[in-house]
Structure 1
Amino acid sequence: MSDHTPPVPDLWATIDTLSEWLDTHRPVEGREGVLLRILKLSEEVGEVAEAVIGATGQNPRKGVTHTWDDVQAELCDVVITALMALRSLTPEAREVFAGHLERVTRRSTALPAQAEVPRPSL
């Protein structure tokens, strides 16, 4: 039994490959096609919510219908869909994302640690 992790594919090369594939198989082109790719993100986020509800059994009529592995897979779909939407908006998606990630990291790590505020008891 091997305990090694499979190699991680190059993220942006894979996004470029998927984007090229999608460009050749998309039913709607132009601005509307890009907008639909962005809207696809809402659908994927909804699937995360459905998986969380299913993993926690919060729908008493359905019970437990998903696993936490399903939630992880749906979160991955959200990330892929978001990167695909960004790539659809600009061929410089890699640079746009890297710059934004750097800004978010800089502003987040520059803040002093916040003390936990006690919650009022009900």
Structure 2
Amino acid sequence: MGSPETGDAGDAGDVWDVVERLAARLEAHSTLPVEQRRILQILKITEEAGEVAEAVIGATGQNPRKGYSHSWADVESELCDVIISAMVALARLTPDARATFASHLARITDRDLTPTEPGD
């Protein structure tokens, strides 16, 4: 696996290893019923998406009170938080998150990246 200093998580297998470790840590920490833990993890995605919106508004200077309060690097970071939160949510919903994601990605690939006409 890549080093934390470089932010390099390595290949997709390594990413899922980290996601599964994060999910396990959250599961071990919580005393809430499993259904409630799942719901709260899914809501975490929405919280992180709100932070993306805040960063975009700040990067474009659209809040007159705050001005240019964020950078596009902040937006990138917040988007990563959304992705990680969603992956952790999937891992907390199913023990086979890797296969679930891979299967879904294959369906998206077939649907959206398969040429439909000559020259596509």
> If the TM-score is normalised by the length of the shorter chain, which range does it land in?
0.7 to 0.9
Which AA in structure 2 matches 1:20? Answer: A
Question: C-alpha displacement at 1:27, in angstroms?
Answer: 4.7
Q: Work out which of the residue numbers 35, 43, 68 in structure 2 matches 1:31.
A: 35
Between the aligned residues of both structures, percent identity stands at 50
Q: What's the secondary structure of 1:44's corresponding residue?
A: helix
Provide structure 2 residue ranges, at least 5 long, that are not aligned to the other structure: 1-5
Q: Which residue of 1 aligns with 2:3?
A: none
Distance 2:57 2:27 in 1: 34
CA distance in 1, matches of 2:33, 2:82: 22
**Structure 1: which amino acid aligns with 2:102?**
A
- The correspondence of residues 98-117 of structure 1 with structure 2, limited to 5 A, is 98-112=102-116
- Tell me how large the CA RMSD over aligned residues is: 1.7
Unaligned runs of 5+ in 1: 114-122
What residue number does 2:60 align with? 56
Q: Which position in structure 1 is the counterpart of 2:88?
A: 84
Task: Pick closer, same or farther for the CA change 1:27–1:68 going to 2, 3 Å.
Answer: farther
TM-score, normalising length: structure 1: 0.82
Inter-CA distance 65–6: structure 2 relative to 1 (3 Å threshold): closer
Q: For 2:24 and 2:104, how far apart are their aligned partners in 1?
A: 24
Q: How many residues align?
A: 109
Give the CA deviation at 1:61: 1.4
CA offsets, 1:57-107, max 9 Å, x none?
011111010111110110000000000111111001100000000110111
- Deviating above 4 A after TM superposition, structure 1's stretches of 4 or more consecutive aligned residues are none
1:25 to partner: Cα distance: 1.4
Q: Say which SS state the counterpart of residue 110 (structure 1) adopts.
A: coil
Taking the aligned partners of 2:69 and 2:31, their CA distance within structure 1 comes to 32
Greater C-alpha radius of gyration: 1
